[in-house]
Amino acid sequence: MATERVDNLAGERRKAEFDVEAMKIVWAGSKHDLDVSDRIARLVASDPVFGKDTRTTLDRKELFKNTLRKVAHAWKQINELRLTEEEASRLRFYIDQPAYVDLHWGMFLPAIKGQGTEEQQAKWLPLAYKMQIIGCYAQTELGHGSNVQGLETTATFDPQTDEFIIHSPTLTSSKWWPGGLGKVSTHAVVYARLIVDGKDYGVNGFIVQLRSLDDHSPLPGITVGDIGMKFGNGAYNSMDNGVLTFDNVRIPRDQMLMRVAKVTREGKYVPSDVPRQILYGTMVYVRQGIVSDASIALSRAVTIATRYSAVRRQFGSQNGGPETKVIDYKTQQSRLFPLLATAYAYRFVSEWLSSLYTDVTQRLQANDFSVLPEAHACTAGLKSLTTSITADGIEECRKLCGGHGYLCSSGLPELFAVYVPTCTYEGDNVVLQLQVARFLVKTVAQLGSGEPLVGTTAYMGRAEHLLQCKSSVQNPEDWLNPDVVLEAFESRAFRMSVDCAKNLAKFSKPKEGFSELSADLVEAAIAHCQLIVVSKFIDKLKQDIPGAGVKQQLEILCSIYALHLLHKHAGEFLSTGSLTSKQVALANDILRSLYSKLRPNAIALVDSFNYTDHFLGSVLGRYDGNVYPKLYEEAWKDPLNETVVPEGYHEFVRPILKQHLRMARL
Amino acid sequence: MATERVDNLAGERRKAEFDVEAMKIVWAGSKHDLDVSDRIARLVASDPVFGKDTRTTLDRKELFKNTLRKVAHAWKQINELRLTEEEASRLRFYIDQPAYVDLHWGMFLPAIKGQGTEEQQAKWLPLAYKMQIIGCYAQTELGHGSNVQGLETTATFDPQTDEFIIHSPTLTSSKWWPGGLGKVSTHAVVYARLIVDGKDYGVNGFIVQLRSLDDHSPLPGITVGDIGMKFGNGAYNSMDNGVLTFDNVRIPRDQMLMRVAKVTREGKYVPSDVPRQILYGTMVYVRQGIVSDASIALSRAVTIATRYSAVRRQFGSQNGGPETKVIDYKTQQSRLFPLLATAYAYRFVSEWLSSLYTDVTQRLQANDFSVLPEAHACTAGLKSLTTSITADGIEECRKLCGGHGYLCSSGLPELFAVYVPTCTYEGDNVVLQLQVARFLVKTVAQLGSGEPLVGTTAYMGRAEHLLQCKSSVQNPEDWLNPDVVLEAFESRAFRMSVDCAKNLAKFSKPKEGFSELSADLVEAAIAHCQLIVVSKFIDKLKQDIPGAGVKQQLEILCSIYALHLLHKHAGEFLSTGSLTSKQVALANDILRSLYSKLRPNAIALVDSFNYTDHFLGSVLGRYDGNVYPKLYEEAWKDPLNETVVPEGYHEFVRPILKQHLRMARL
Ligand SMILES: Cc1cc2nc3c(=O)[nH]c(=O)nc-3n(C[C@H](O)[C@H](O)[C@H](O)COP(=O)(O)OP(=O)(O)OC[C@H]3O[C@@H](n4cnc5c(N)ncnc54)[C@H](O)[C@@H]3O)c2cc1C
Ligand SMILES: Cc1cc2nc3c(=O)[nH]c(=O)nc-3n(C[C@H](O)[C@H](O)[C@H](O)COP(=O)(O)OP(=O)(O)OC[C@H]3O[C@@H](n4cnc5c(N)ncnc54)[C@H](O)[C@@H]3O)c2cc1C
Ligand SMILES: [Ca+2]
């Protein structure tokens, strides 16, 4: 078919003032990353098995079976095409459907790598790499989540048989939530209280086989199933989050993960020489991935909302001409462009986090644990900040699309529903900020004690200055100076931490004070985390960034990111005395002009994410902007349109119209 | 079965310091309202046809048929039990499943009442009341929503046959979104451009029959269908939002709704003596209903999160005792209690809006249109404010429930998904606030001109004072004085409006200025709307409120409502100079102590909403707090648990485990 290609957004694309191909490399991280992503994304998009069209209309069983098919097909492709590990992981990513393999690769394997001895790794990892066993990560219980130390499942050593007895003593000790557990996993890393000789040694991981490798039936003593429907159609319902109880299930002693402590044949608990902190390394790694995913989820939503906003017209028609594109309204810009800037900001902070991870890993190997508390706080805080904002941001993008954003064909409802649990798993976002706050308060308390200020807390070294400095801003343009912005964010964050510390000092019991002031402490922690993101964006701009106009665009985005936060949290900048009302107002003025500067580049800036229409899964976000004909086409695919007269009409509608129901009473 | 009744929340209920039964009356509006609601809610809850259990697992067709069944059963009950109109509407409400009847009763009938002549009403209303015809409201088009004047559908008068020809000239003119249209409605009020003798008279309503009353097939020239899946499982997918195109469909001339203007047999367009403004009356009515629904949706979510927070325990166990209830954490309180207070605040402002509606109706009948602009702005702004906050509030409640909030059995995902479009329909929330802003700027411009300040803008009469006043707050307790709170809100709102007006004056073209500053204008509009809610809550407290301790609780809620807003928008209070940093900090101090005061009453305050477990539809929000056993029970009902080994295992999982896929490549 020689149909002409539509590109309703061609005019928008011509407006771009920078080299889009160069920006694609910046976003991807490198030319290599871009090439791999691009190739694999196209591969997935062109394969009918990976089609996403019907996903939101499938019922649970159909959706689940469809997911199993995609996973199997992916595995076949990975092997047939001899994909590298990097390519394989890109492939799973672009399939864009949560599945049991996510936990197998993302949690089961890393848990064994992180917590298993070398022997254990040698035994289990090859099985897992080849998928001869499929594993999940079974920590959370029906009654216990955030507080891992509260888990009730027990693993009692039986010296007679050299086994552990895994047992669920109560209903609330049922394992609950692990992904991949419900229907697929053959194995799990199960977290349970280690009991040796009547003594409770706290929570430890154990490799437990759950299902027969012959016929997939649960092994004796094991009850396992799916926990039911979750938020949204499609979305996370392709995952078999599960429930699991143990009735005195026995496993060999050597299936306790023994890297940091072991139980001997004689029933002795022996800590190894590997320090417990080593386990935090994995956490940094996992959370870095979550921050990177935040930038991806947000940029997807922003792409959809931006493209549709440049297609959608509403009001403002002059003499019968076309109406105004909604992207030209300042309210639309003030909601959309900060999210676009945020997506870029999160991208760069995640890039930085991955270098932090490399650094931390090297130090851990050299037995240097000094940076751990800071690295831990910083990743916890960034996980919390970026996922909260991304979740809200996706929903805002949906609203920016007006009524049509409510249709599943917009892709946004599913993107939201699948994303939101990120705010809860891997640490509830509030619980995480409380950890950051605890770290900040401690850091402030130690100021002047000679304790070195590492990493992202280095700015606190200029305590005197930050408490006294007055911002030099006098004109709107002054806000374009990164040093000025940075100082304002540092001053606000530091003063908030110091204020908290002062208020805490008024309590005789520190614990009571911390609890009473916890809402304020969370705000201080967030301010600190926002500062980190701003400062890493500014650092990025100090690098050499090739490509015509690319750096200029990133500078605009960086300013928008920082100044929209300043506007949103003006109360904190003002009440800490970091800025004057006048200065805050000037920031708002320059922000408006930055929106105008960004406007002609908006489409090109989302094109730079290089997402395929398959990955976006949105009629509104189509690359070609051909929205209306496609929306119309999509509608007719709904199962309800299979018949003109709906099922149930004769039984339930006609009797009303014909007054048969009404007459019944007379 | 003589099973013992559990009440895990009995201890919480005993803590209450007020008369819950009296509070129920306050919430319901009157003893009569409470009795009716209570009776009908129980009726619905006890009828198996109205069960909600399977809703989120049904596929589209099943869900839709299930909805038709419920509607038919409701109609049967309404007739058999000879329910009054009030009772019937309560019944539909408690069934809690969006259905075509919502539009029939809520939009189709009111449109004919509001826009039809007496003759037209006499002809069509009886048919609609008896449901011999079923109608919907067809305004929005694929390419046109917010801007109603941009609609493309035409209604051209044909003097030869005394008919209108209804036609869809383009793809974008397809009607798109009307609820009830897709599969059920036999008729619609269709909005189209009235064309008489080549002249375009703008948009008007027409009654158009869509489907045969004999066999339900679409009439000639009419193409109609469903627009497909929407956000969430269950949720709004029980509604058949539809698409509709006309290919020169002819209707008799007298099916044009002719209350404000008619077309004569000779083809003359003749405005009637009924002023167009009369149509705004309906808008006030509809939006008052939306504000009332906001208080209900939010209070439902808050009920679930509050009860579950008093069941859920996490951390803080002392010497092996139970962990701390999460409701006792200050961060949890600072997120939850303001939402509880907000639900009450919205309830009272909706109560006030319904009295405003009565007042406006009486004035309109007396040809007094003076209050219309103010009433219109005020209802638009309150619709926007309350629905935005409620949508976000429901999601916050979901997050407050940790992981379990993500399960459909929590009820929260569906509540969110079904609620969010309220931010878009009946006026996009941003577009509405821009209307409010326009009204405010105009009001400010007229200050001192002698133009009377009506209704909610009366405070602007004290312009001088509000621009200069300094808050008297010196101690935390000063914030408990309603006059002090009111003045702070008035001062902030007024100063923001005045600042906007000043900044606008700097532009030579007012329209350009308005567009450039629109984001700030929206903020000023929101500040004005928040003031209205605060002031109506304070007014409510001036009434006589019977019941031990009831008024005291409402005072606490009112303070929490106002002061949490003050904290959230501190930047505006500070930058307008309405408050000092110190005063803002004092507000935050008293807020914390108000949370502690509210804490023992939290469960009783949500009990006062008097919601049945059926209506809540949430395992986490159960009245008896028996959460864990019921969550566990629910899980096993998922279709995936029908078989131990999932469908697709043999085809798609076993080949992986057995390395058949892997080997294939070798
Ligand atoms: C989609 C999804 C997938 C998951 N996958 C897995 C998996 O594969 N394996 C696994 O083991 N688990 C998994 N989980 C479970 C997840 O890790 C937990 O849900 C998460 O840790 C949050 O814990 P919770 O549910 O107990 O929340 P809770 O801690 O009960 O949170 C409830 C409320 O209490 C508050 N709160 C809790 N403690 C405190 C405190 N100390 N101070 C102040 N406030 C507090 C929280 O902020 C929240 O508002 C998954 C969960 C989801 C939703
Ligand atoms: C669940 C649901 C049910 C519905 N039921 C019906 C029904 O029964 N009958 C019916 O006729 N319709 C119905 N509608 C349609 C509904 O009324 C429209 O979706 C609504 O009016 C919003 O218009 P829109 O979709 O065109 O949004 P748009 O106006 O296209 O909004 C897109 C974006 O543009 C922005 N924008 C638009 N104009 C301006 C401006 N002037 N200045 C600044 N920003 C602007 C908006 O803020 C938004 O961010 C329904 C919609 C939904 C979602
Ligand atoms: Ca089915």
Q: What's the CATH number where A124 sits?
A: 2.40.110.10
Among A229, A252, A274, the domain boundary falls at A274
pLDDT, mean of residues B104-123: 97
Q: For residue A170, tell me if it sits in a domain.
A: yes
Is A150 in Cβ contact with B330 (below 8 Å)?
no
pLDDT attached to residue A320 = 81
Among A574, A608, A642, the domain boundary falls at A608
Confidence check: pLDDT of A72 > 70: yes
Is A628 in Cβ contact with B142 (below 8 Å)?
yes
Q: For residue A58, tell me if it sits in a domain.
A: no
A605 CA distance to ligand 2 centroid (A)? Answer: 26
Verify that A345 and A380 share a domain, yes or no: yes
pLDDT attached to residue A279 = 81
Task: Answer yes or no: are the C-beta atoms of B374 and B454 closer than 8 Å.
Answer: yes
Confidence class for position B657, pLDDT limits 50, 70, 90: very high
pLDDT, mean of residues B643-654: 97
Verify that A370 and A352 share a domain, yes or no: yes
Q: For residue A29, tell me if it sits in a domain.
A: no
pLDDT attached to residue B478 = 98
B147 CA distance to ligand 2 centroid (A)? Answer: 8
Is A483 exposed, middle or buried, given 0-12, 13-18 or 19+ CB atoms closer than 10 A?
exposed
Q: For residue B568, what are the contacts with CB-CB under 8 A and spacing of at least 6?
A: none
| pLDDT tens digits for range A113-125 | 999 999 999 999 9
Verify that A393 and A485 share a domain, yes or no: yes
pLDDT, mean of residues A634-651: 97
Verify that A446 and A528 share a domain, yes or no: yes
pLDDT attached to residue B665 = 43
Residues with CB under 6 A from ligand 1: A 103, 137-140, 145-146, 177-179, 236, 241, 421, 424-425, 428, 430-431, 434; B 312, 314-315, 326, 329, 331-332, 400, 402-404, 406
Q: Which atom of ligand 2 lies closest to the CA of A399?
A: 49
Task: Answer yes or no: are the C-beta atoms of B41 and B300 closer than 8 Å.
Answer: no
pLDDT, mean of residues A93-99: 98
A588 touching chain B per CB within 8 A:
yes
Structural domain boundaries enclosing A170: 106-274
Confidence check: pLDDT of B2 > 70: no
| pLDDT tens digits for range A144-195 | 999 999 999 999 999 999 999 999 999 999 999 999 999 999 999 999 999 9
Verify that B317 and B439 share a domain, yes or no: yes
| pLDDT tens digits for range B453-505 | 989 999 999 999 999 999 999 999 999 999 999 999 999 999 999 999 999 99
Q: Which atom of ligand 2 lies closest to the CA of A326?
A: 34
A467 touching chain B per CB within 8 A:
no
pLDDT, mean of residues A49-71: 94
A408 touching chain B per CB within 8 A:
yes
Q: For residue B339, tell me if it sits in a domain.
A: yes
Please state the pTM of the whole predicted model: 0.98
pLDDT attached to residue A376 = 93
Min Cα distance B173 → chain A (Å) is: 10
What are the binding residues of A for FAD? 140, 179
pLDDT attached to residue A2 = 45
Domain count, chain A: 2
- Name the B residues in 528-567 with CB < 8 Å from any A CB: 567
Assess whether the C-beta atom of A569 lies below 6 angstroms from ligand 2: no
The Cα diameter of chain B in Å comes to 92
Is A421 in Cβ contact with B406 (below 8 Å)?
yes
pLDDT, mean of residues A562-579: 98
Verify that A462 and A523 share a domain, yes or no: yes
pLDDT, mean of residues B319-342: 96
Q: For residue B645, tell me if it sits in a domain.
A: no
pLDDT attached to residue A281 = 82
Residue of A nearest to B519 (CA): A331
pLDDT attached to residue B662 = 65
Q: How far is CA B558 from CA B542, B584, B594, in A?
A: 12, 17, 10
- Name the B residues in 283-322 with CB < 8 Å from any A CB: 313-315, 317
Residue of B nearest to A596 (CA): B516
Assess whether the C-beta atom of A201 lies below 6 angstroms from ligand 2: no
pLDDT, mean of residues A20-42: 98
β-bridge mates for residue A141, sequence order: A144, A175
Write out chain A residues lying below 8 Å of B71, CB-based: 652, 656
Confidence check: pLDDT of B75 > 90: yes
List the CATH number of the domain containing A574. Answer: 1.20.140.10
What are the binding residues of A? 140, 179
Nearest bound ligand to CA B98?
2
Q: For residue B659, tell me if it sits in a domain.
A: no
Verify that A190 and A301 share a domain, yes or no: no
Confidence class for position B320, pLDDT limits 50, 70, 90: confident
Verify that B164 and B219 share a domain, yes or no: yes
Task: Answer yes or no: are the C-beta atoms of A598 and A556 closer than 8 Å.
Answer: yes
Confidence check: pLDDT of A283 > 90: no
Q: For residue A322, what are the contacts with CB-CB under 8 A and spacing of at least 6?
A: A313
A135 touching chain B per CB within 8 A:
no
- Please report the ipTM that was assigned to this predicted complex: 0.98
Nearest bound ligand to CA A177?
1
- Buried/exposed B495-525: b ≥16 CB within 10 Å, e otherwise: bbbbbbbebbeeeeeeeebbbbbbbbbbbbb
pLDDT attached to residue B318 = 83
Name the closest-CA residue to atom 7, ligand 1: A178
Q: Which two tokens stand for residue B475?
A: 């101690």
**Range of lowest pLDDT (A285-289, A385-389, B536-540):** A285-289
A393 touching chain B per CB within 8 A:
no
β-bridge mates for residue B230, sequence order: A407
- Confirm whether B490 is a catalytic residue: no
pLDDT attached to residue B660 = 81
Assess whether the C-beta atom of B433 lies below 6 angstroms from ligand 2: no
pLDDT attached to residue B1 = 41
Q: For residue A227, tell me if it sits in a domain.
A: yes
pLDDT, mean of residues A476-496: 98
Which parts of A149-190 fold into alpha helices (H)? Answer: none
Confidence check: pLDDT of B666 > 60: no
| Mean of all residue pLDDT scores within chain B | 96
Verify that B418 and B516 share a domain, yes or no: yes
Name the closest-CA residue to atom 32, ligand 2: A402
Mutate: best of A50, A57, A61, partner B, most B CBs <10 A: A61
A586 touching chain B per CB within 8 A:
no
Taking the CA atoms of residue A358, residue A362, residue A365 and residue A366 in that order, the dihedral angle to the nearest 10 degrees is -160
Q: Tell me the backbone φ, ψ of residue A2, rounded to 5 degrees.
A: -95, 55
Q: Which atom of ligand 2 lies closest to the CA of B137?
A: 9
Q: For residue A616, tell me if it sits in a domain.
A: no
Verify that A261 and A298 share a domain, yes or no: no
A417 touching chain B per CB within 8 A:
yes
Confidence check: pLDDT of A4 > 70: no
Is A408 in Cβ contact with B228 (below 8 Å)?
yes
Verify that A297 and A203 share a domain, yes or no: no
Among B572, B587, B608, the domain boundary falls at B608
Verify that B181 and B289 share a domain, yes or no: no
Q: For residue B273, what are the contacts with CB-CB under 8 A and spacing of at least 6?
A: none
Assess whether the C-beta atom of B179 lies below 6 angstroms from ligand 2: yes
| pLDDT tens digits for range B423-467 | 999 999 999 999 999 999 999 999 999 888 989 999 999 999 999
